[in-house]
Amino acid sequence: MDLNRSAQLFERAQAVLPGGVSRNTIFKSPHPTYVSHGKGCYVTDINGVKRIDFANNMASLIHGHAQPNVTQAIIEQVQKGTAFTLATELEIEFAELLCQRVPSFEKIRFVNSGTEAVMAMIKTARAFTQKSKIAKVEGAYHGSYDYAEVSQTASPATWGDEHQPHSVAVARGTPDNALNDVIVIPYNDVDKALHILNQHKETLAGILIDPISHRVGMIPATPEFIDALYQWSRDNQALLLFDEVITFRTSLAGAQAKYNVKPDLTAIGKMIGGGFPVGAFAGRSDVMQVLDPSQSPLLLPHSGTFSANPVTMVAGLTAMRLFDQPTVDKLNQLGDFARVQLTDTIKKVGIKACVTGAGSMFRLHFKAQAPQHYRHAYTNTLQTQATKYLLNYLFDNGIMMINTGSAMLSTPMGKKEINYLVEQVTSGLTLVKD
């Protein structure tokens, strides 16, 4: 086996892919490691090295790799055809399952990614309210759509006053309209957020919020913050837009069930695709009605060549049927176990670090105290280097995590994998400390 095969592939890739990659979030140290195959919670690279997969394709593989029932369902569907211009019964069955599980889901529409789901949700909110602005939380990631991206990479040099965060552009050439139409609010600070929202009462179509945003620091929103946004949206004819593309895994009805709130619309994705590209947005019947193609005039044209394709539908349906209450409970308990064990080991090592997260997701921070919002969680050069060092150490010792220091559990995992993670984090942190 040629041990430099990944390095060679990366060199080849750089000739045809910008930066040698197809997505910026790929784990690179110093080049991507190319995969041979995955099974359960393990991934084997092309050099035959096996690692526990705590990244799970950026939180999308709730059952890990090649889950037998999902695989069988996909194979059967592939043999019958993969995409049709006509509809299939599968999309109705999947829509029924999701709408039965989530009280706020009266109607749902499937798309092909979380980005698309958030984009379509924002457009639906605009079409329904006939207003153009949205508000979003500073630093929150909602996919690659101009409006959803605003402030996603805010830094001390650009983020402005904490009472009035700037609408920071992510990409060169972002239209001024996108910046003007996206209002940025601080996270978990009711007074500051309401003060800003009140300045845009007449023009806000909706407030977009991920209740446990990974990029903000994987810090659960406080119930007071969610309640305040919900109430403000009722009082000002705006919609509450939940992005549960990641957090949907926290219960059968997503994080909204924990907050006991019914958002007007919710975007989901990732795990509901059973390993295939997917997104969906769902919510109030009267709001979703803007998508009804039989209306005249048509309020919101919306299409997608591969939306609700039968392979994704059957993969997702099978994966979500397996994601039942005992399974969610077990996964969340494993998350609690991991957070407690990691916090314990941080204390024992005596390093300035902490763990945030909820349910089956957690994130390590090189911060003495759990951050409360994006600016707290923002890492300086030293903290960024420490995270990179630790993740590289873990990677070299059989553990793969997301490059922010986050982990997403999958159902084939048990205490054995968590114990191994804790053991390796302990050694890695000891080295970082030294």
* Residues forming the site for ligand PLP (CB under 6 A): 58, 113-115, 118, 141-143, 210, 214, 243, 245-246, 269, 279
Backbone angles phi, psi at 88, to 5 degrees: -125, 160
Give the Cα separation of 191 and 241 in Å (integer): 20
Would you call 434 a catalytic residue per the annotation?
no
Q: Which is nearer to ligand PLP, 259 or 428 (CB)?
A: 259
Angle separating helix axes 325-349 and 415-433, nearest 10 degrees: 30
* Residue 136: closest CA among 115, 155, 151: 151
> Closest residue to ligand PLP, Cβ-based?
114
Given the residues 123, 243, 262, 378, select the one marked as catalytic: 243
- CB 360, CB 409: distance < 8 Å: yes
Q: Which is nearer to ligand PLP, 152 or 341 (CB)?
A: 152
Given the residues 107, 123, 131, 141, select the one marked as catalytic: 141
Backbone angles phi, psi at 19, to 5 degrees: 70, 5
Q: Which is nearer to ligand PLP, 142 or 365 (CB)?
A: 142
Give the Cα separation of 186 and 205 in Å (integer): 18
Give the Cα separation of 137 and 373 in Å (integer): 10
Would you call 243 a catalytic residue per the annotation?
yes
Q: Which is nearer to ligand PLP, 238 or 272 (CB)?
A: 272
How much helix, strand and coil, in percent to the nearest 5, is found in the chain?
A: 45, 15, 40
Q: How far is the CB of 137 from ligand PLP (least distance, A)?
A: 11
Burial classification of residue 179, based on how many CB atoms lie within 10 Å of its CB (0-12 exposed, 13-18 middle, 19 or more buried): middle
Q: How far is the CB of 210 from ligand PLP (least distance, A)?
A: 5
* Residue 135: closest CA among 191, 75, 207, 70: 207
* Residue 243: closest CA among 189, 205, 193, 206: 206
Q: Which is nearer to ligand PLP, 115 or 151 (CB)?
A: 115
Q: Which is nearer to ligand PLP, 181 or 243 (CB)?
A: 243
Strands 406-408, 361-365: pairing is antiparallel
Would you call 286 a catalytic residue per the annotation?
no
Catalytic residues, by residue number, are 141, 243, 270
